Structure 1
Amino acid sequence: MSFQQGLSGLNAASKSLEAIGNNVANSGTVGFKQSQVQFADIYASTLSGSGAAQIGIGVQVARVAQLFSQGNIAVSNNPLDMAINGDGFFRMSSGGTITYGRNGQFELTKEGYIQNASGARLTGYMADANGVVQNGAPVELVINKADMGPQATSKYDVKLTLDSRKDVLNPLNFNPDDASTFSDSTSAPVYDSLGNSHILRTFYVKTAGGEWSVFATNDGVPIGYTLPVTATNPPVPIGTMDFGNGGALISTTPSPMVAQMVVTTGAATPFNITLNVTGTQQFAQAFGVSKNLPDGYRPGSLTGFDVASDGSIMGRYSNGQVNVLGQVILSSFANPNGLQNIGDNQWVETAESGVPLTSTPGSSGLGVVQSARIEESNVDLTAELVNMITAQRVYQANAQTIKTQDQIMQTLVNLR
């Protein structure tokens, strides 16, 4: 009987050494999850009762469990490298076969797909041309390298501090080329529907204690009236601003003020720009501009992209704009130990693992994604080397039981 016990112990210790050796071999594998051999004792079944002095007949491997604990996260120079901080797996597609993994070392194919070293493609949700993510059935993510089209300016946010100490001026004398006819001015680039740049300049003329007229020019051409200025064709402001005794803006006339831009570039003309002066104030201090933000932009080409913590792939364009190109998704399982390991740091779903819960990073208990990061193997090399020594001693001890039993058997054989 001891031969059977010792032999089972040798087999178990050997399996333990194999798992430890595999862990050590993959200690540098990104996204690798270490294995642990779990044992169970063996007892012979009896037909009647239970023996109080029953002795087991050895040991067996109950299962080889993978420990899905978090690995250390290291910095990478590749913006496509991603690490999951928390629960979840990347959902991959390989020829229609869905696999799952923690290795976030990705590269871009010539077609724009995001794939790993084994050719499996990362899946998620794509975004439309306006950067709106289209939730639904996951698809293979592809980076759209098309240029971003222009957007005409429609709103101009400007927040000013006007100097109440300025002299009162006659708005009928306004001349954009004569600084003595206006109190202050500011300018900003705006864009037509073809992306051509124009300079919208606004002028502020103090006409009374708490009243200011606002004039505007488009590339130096007056807006709202034509040149030359005459008694019957006076300069016309695009609006006026009224301030209270405390210096706060009370109202604008009209509300809102609008600059009508006439262009000859072949773009849509005229196009209107709403002037938003919310927060503008009048104090006894020097003129200042705290906000000068028109919307709209010229065309731009894709210069790079990053992945946000929620999996959003943010494209950066040469025109300074940022647009969402897609969103990475993650999957989790009720029993990750039920997944079948198919190599290449990938697993497939089984009946034991349960169906995947798939959602965006940071939701439904899933971890977040960190760009330009990799998750290192969770193997503790020091602990594995200690385990290796222990497994070796166990193997030697079981071999000794077989040797001892052999000596006893030899003694019996030699009896006369």
Structure 2
Amino acid sequence: MSFNIALSGLKASQKDLDVTANNIANVNTYGFKESRAEFADVFSSSIFSSSKTQNGGGVVTQDVAQQFHQGSLLITSNSLDMAISGNGFFVTTEGPLSRDFTYTRAGAFKLDSENRIVTSDGNFLQGLPVNTDGSVKSVSLSTTAPIQIPDSAGSPSATGQIDLSFNLNSNATNLDPALFDPTDTTTFTSSTSTVVYDSLGNSRIAAVYYVKTTNPAALGASGGAAPGTPGVVGGSADTNNSTWAMFSTVTDDAGNVVNVDLQQDPNVANPGALQYQATSGQRGMLLQFDSSGVAVPGTFPTPRTEPLGTVANVTVPVVIPHDGAGVINNGADPDQTFNMVMTKLTQVSGAFEVSALSQDGKTVGRLTGISIGTDGLIEAKYSNGDTQAISKVALVRFPNDQGLTQIGNTSWTSSQTSGEPLAGEADSGTFGSIRSGTLEQSNVNLTGELVDLITAQRNFQANSRALEVNNSISQTILQIR
């Protein structure tokens, strides 16, 4: 009997050594959870024996229990590295259509050849479907799907409108708009530009130039004022030294800079009025401001009854030569027109400042980056400025984490002991948050394991000694004559 007791002690000590050695071996394994060998004594009795005089029958390994406490977090430079701070497991499958789920805390993810997020061994990370605003459509494990990042986004759309607001420097030096030349910086006061797109997504550069002047010599006839009449602008005396000419250029299909006329509103009775014309023939729009720096009503292409910047906008059609989609329209190659909408135009003392400049066109975007929020929302960023909500990383929890079945590769499957997985969103309820660019390290305490290793070794030696003593006693008995 004593031999069996000592032998059971040796087996228990060996199991303790094995568990401790496995913990030490995985001290650098991301997402690894340490285990603990748990033992119970062996005791048997019957109705014909007295428990007061019955000794134990040895020891038995009752469980190798996993410990799911949080491991320390390691900061990385890879946005696809993810760690769960708190409760929860990532969900993975072996194939894109598989419903055989496995669960892991190891977040060293990467993209495969089809831009799907996968683990180091090729399993597919599952995500919850989302709406365009990033809200989740369904929180259910059955609706999850492998997360795939599109490498392009959207279809091209032609620019239809540019929104522009600015302040012109009232102290700028006066120039002659008749001498305007976009290639000569000395012929204009200030300029700004933006990228616009045709219907095929080809980019153009649309530039706007401003020339401060008190000489309307290049002004077309208007309001009874003859061209070149000093101090007269469109029939109004320029007593505030606040007259500007605004010109524009745009690049064509070949990238050449083309002068464009800032066209008058077709509803204006005299389309030649209120325009400057440079020596090159290019026509620019008149801008005039009052003594307080506010745009003067009635001096713009669209008839006005209130100061600019208070209620209405000024809309100026601008033509881009040779729209890229022209070949589709029977080869007619028509021009593309967009509107330049100007609001809050002022002329006050201070540097030239553009307070708003945006346009509504875009080209096809190429993937430039991925961001992952603490709630697991994956957003893809594209070269055309688009940001798309792709998916939300699915997390699951279990009624009993220690009941999970280990399958290797730092993964687990559910069992009857663990209970059914419950899916949810990160950073909500009892689920932890997701840290992008971070990895959860093994939760093994190396110092504690080394101490446990010494303890297990001593236990093994003690049980070996008990076995040796039992052997000596048996030898003594056998030698009795």
In structure 1, the gaps of 5 or more residues are none
2:124 aligns with 121
2:156 aligns with 150
Q: Which moved more, 1:339-348 or 1:22-31?
A: 22-31
Deviation at 1:46, TM superposition (A): 5.1
SS class of match (2:470): helix
Deviation at 1:15, TM superposition (A): 1.1
Cα distance in 2, alignment partners of residues 250 and 47 from structure 1: 107
Q: Which moved more, 1:58-67 or 1:399-408?
A: 399-408
Matches of residues 1-400 of structure 1 in structure 2 within 5 Å?
1-45=1-45, 47=47, 51=51, 55-76=55-76, 79-95=79-95, 96=98, 97-125=100-128, 135-136=137-138, 137-146=143-152, 148-153=154-159, 156=162, 158=164, 160-163=166-169, 177=180, 186-196=192-202, 197-199=204-206, 201=208, 217=248, 219=250, 220-225=259-264, 233-235=272-274, 252=309, 255-263=312-320, 264-266=322-324, 269-272=336-339, 274-275=341-342, 277=344, 283-319=348-384, 321-400=386-465
Cα contact 1:330–1:359 (8 A) shared by 2 = yes
Cα distance in 2, alignment partners of residues 312 and 34 from structure 1: 30
In structure 2, the gaps of 5 or more residues are 214-237, 251-258, 276-284, 296-305, 326-334
Cα contact 1:30–1:103 (8 A) shared by 2 = yes
Cα contact 1:240–1:253 (8 A) shared by 2 = no
Cα contact 1:192–1:271 (8 A) shared by 2 = no
Cα distance in 2, alignment partners of residues 318 and 198 from structure 1: 17
SS class of match (1:31): coil
Cα contact 1:90–1:329 (8 A) shared by 2 = yes
Cα distance in 1, alignment partners of residues 123 and 385 from structure 2: 32
Cα contact 1:302–1:318 (8 A) shared by 2 = yes
Deviation at 1:285, TM superposition (A): 2.7
Deviation at 1:208, TM superposition (A): 8.3
CA 1:352 to 1:116, structure 2 compared with 1: closer, same or farther past 3 Å?
same
TM-score by length of 1: 0.77
Cα contact 1:126–1:141 (8 A) shared by 2 = no
Deviation at 1:12, TM superposition (A): 1.4
2:230 aligns with none
Cα distance in 1, alignment partners of residues 355 and 437 from structure 2: 35
Cα distance in 2, alignment partners of residues 230 and 146 from structure 1: 48
2:332 aligns with none
SS class of match (1:301): strand
CA 1:346 to 1:285, structure 2 compared with 1: closer, same or farther past 3 Å?
same
- The one-character-per-residue Cα deviations of 1:179-216 (angstroms, maximum 9, x if unpaired) are 9999865433333433232415275989787x999967
Residue identity (%): 35
| Count of residue correspondences | 408
Cα contact 2:370–2:378 (8 A) shared by 1 = yes
One-letter amino acid of the structure 1 residue matched with residue 323 of structure 2: T
Deviation at 1:101, TM superposition (A): 0.9
SS class of match (1:99): strand
Which of 1 and 2 has greater Rg? 2
Cα distance in 2, alignment partners of residues 254 and 221 from structure 1: 28
CA 1:25 to 1:216, structure 2 compared with 1: closer, same or farther past 3 Å?
same
Cα contact 1:124–1:141 (8 A) shared by 2 = yes
Cα contact 1:260–1:273 (8 A) shared by 2 = yes
- The one-character-per-residue Cα deviations of 1:139-194 (angstroms, maximum 9, x if unpaired) are 0122322454334446655554444557999xxx9879489999865433333433
Cα distance in 2, alignment partners of residues 176 and 47 from structure 1: 120
SS class of match (1:289): strand
Cα distance in 1, alignment partners of residues 470 and 288 from structure 2: 107
Cα distance in 2, alignment partners of residues 46 and 243 from structure 1: 112
- The one-character-per-residue Cα deviations of 1:87-111 (angstroms, maximum 9, x if unpaired) are 3221101141111112223343323
Cα contact 1:216–1:238 (8 A) shared by 2 = no
Cα distance in 1, alignment partners of residues 34 and 76 from structure 2: 22
Q: Which moved more, 1:149-158 or 1:391-400?
A: 149-158
Deviation at 1:388, TM superposition (A): 1.1
Deviation at 1:36, TM superposition (A): 1.0
CA RMSD of aligned residues (A): 4.5
Q: Which moved more, 1:257-266 or 1:88-97?
A: 257-266
Cα contact 2:189–2:209 (8 A) shared by 1 = no
One-letter amino acid of the structure 2 residue matched with residue 402 of structure 1: L
Cα contact 1:87–1:365 (8 A) shared by 2 = yes
One-letter amino acid of the structure 2 residue matched with residue 104 of structure 1: G
Cα contact 1:244–1:250 (8 A) shared by 2 = no
CA 1:231 to 1:256, structure 2 compared with 1: closer, same or farther past 3 Å?
closer
2:282 aligns with none
SS class of match (1:402): helix
CA 1:241 to 1:118, structure 2 compared with 1: closer, same or farther past 3 Å?
farther
